[in-house]
Amino acid sequence: MATDIKRIAVFTSGGDAPGMNAAIRAVVRNATFRDLHIYGIMRGYDGMIKGDLTRLESKDVGNIIHRGGTILKTARSKEFMTIEGRKKAFDSLRAHDIDACIAIGGNGTFTGADIFSKEHDIPFIGIPGTIDNDLAGTDNTIGFDTAINTAIEAVDKIRDTADSHNRLFFVEVMGRNSGFIALNTGIGSGAGSILIPERQGNVEELINHLKKGAARKKLFSLVIVAEGNPGGGAMKIAEEVQEKFDHYDTKVAIIGHLQRGGSPTAADRVLSSRLGFGAVDALLEGKKNVMVGVVNNQVSFTPFEEAIKTPKDPEKELLRMAEILAL
């Protein structure tokens, strides 16, 4: 046991994700059970620099497990990217006698945590909170399940209109560098085509696919497009298809930040609780500079650098299955 750890700070950083509050709740309650003092840092690294820390008790995290967003708020800090900014953050933590930190966020959050921890020798444990599901070392990240459920619900409603009017809908979902949301939304909603950042495609291939559907008297179609698709977003792809293939009345729907909000699903609440609980245990076991994840239903730990830099691409089998099921 790392008996020198008495005070822990927890914060959320980067984009918010449904389930972050459930993770905060688990961190606070496990830390309290272990007779540790737990502090919440407001607005991520920006709040760390400014010394905006507040003591958290078990009662402070009651009635938040079902809430989206983050009660600790979140922000991106350019100042923390500088040596001077990180020194200010270190001084703030020392002023509150903080011995270790738990960071809830994604790539940028863990990159900052890794650099800061090595510069100032403060243990950090990371909890993967990002709807993109793009971190290695965990099967799912906090918020991913909620995001795809939100997207599928939206696509189901769009399907009603597409069917009623015999339309071709291009639906854009989040995923600047990752196609996990698009792929799972496409499979779950029965979309005709899925365009993702990890896979090069072209408009001609898409049009050929749509022509096959038209030949089968398919009266409408849904195409799910990740915002980071190499060929462009939904609007650009839709315009190119309309120019070359006017069989359908073409429309575009961009779901956008709707995917980030809302009450977390049961799966995200359970995952967040496991990760938050495991993060406190990890610190007391002497672990540092690692991300806690769940792989094959087992809690696991991955060094920050490996979690950030190891490519995590959608499974090829899922891609193959999606193509066949869409025929």
Is the pTM for the entire model greater than 0.75? yes
Confidence check: pLDDT of 219 > 80: no
Q: What angle do CA 10, 16, 22 make, to 5 degrees?
A: 55
Q: What is the pLDDT at residue 248?
A: 81
**Which architecture characterizes domain 7-143+264-309 according to CATH?**
3-Layer(aba) Sandwich (3.40)
Residue identified by tokens 């607005």 is: 43
What is the fold, at CATH topology level, of the domain defined by 147-260? Rossmann fold (3.40.50)
The H or E element containing residue 9 is strand 7-12
**Which pair of tokens denotes residue 14?**
């980067």
132 labelled catalytic = yes
Residue 255 CA, chain-centre distance (Å), reads: 16
Which of left, alpha, beta for 139 (phi over 0: left; psi -120 to 50: alpha)? Answer: alpha
Confidence check: pLDDT of 215 > 80: no
Q: What is the pLDDT at residue 166?
A: 84
Could you read off the pLDDT of 30-74 as tens digits, one per residue? 999 999 999 999 999 999 999 999 999 999 999 999 999 999 999
Confidence check: pLDDT of 2 > 70: no
Q: What is the pLDDT at residue 235?
A: 97
Instruction: Find the catalytic residue in 132, 134, 145, 268.
Output: 132
3-state DSSP assignment of residue 255: coil
Mean pLDDT of the chain: 94
Q: What is the pLDDT at residue 193?
A: 93
Task: Name the residue with higher pLDDT: 218 or 49.
Answer: 49
| Residue ranges, CATH 3.40.50.460, the chain | 147-260
Q: Using a pLDDT cut of 70, give the percent of the chain over it.
A: 99
Laid out side by side, the sheet with 298-303 consists of: 53-56, 37-41, 7-12, 100-105, 124-128, 290-295, 298-303
**Contacts with 284 (C-beta within 8 Å, 6 or more apart), sequence order:** 1, 2, 5, 34
Task: Name the residue with higher pLDDT: 190 or 211.
Answer: 190
Tell me the average pLDDT across 277-281.
Answer: 98
C-alpha to C-alpha distance for 180 and 148, rounded to whole angstroms: 9
Give the residue ranges of DSSP H helices in the chain: 20-33, 44-50, 83-95, 107-120, 144-165, 180-189, 203-215, 234-244, 266-284, 304-309, 316-325
| Residue ranges, CATH 3.40.50.450, the chain | 7-143+264-309
Confidence check: pLDDT of 278 > 60: yes
> Residue 313: is it exposed, middle or buried by C-beta count within 10 angstroms (0-12/13-18/19+)?
middle
The H or E element containing residue 101 is strand 100-105
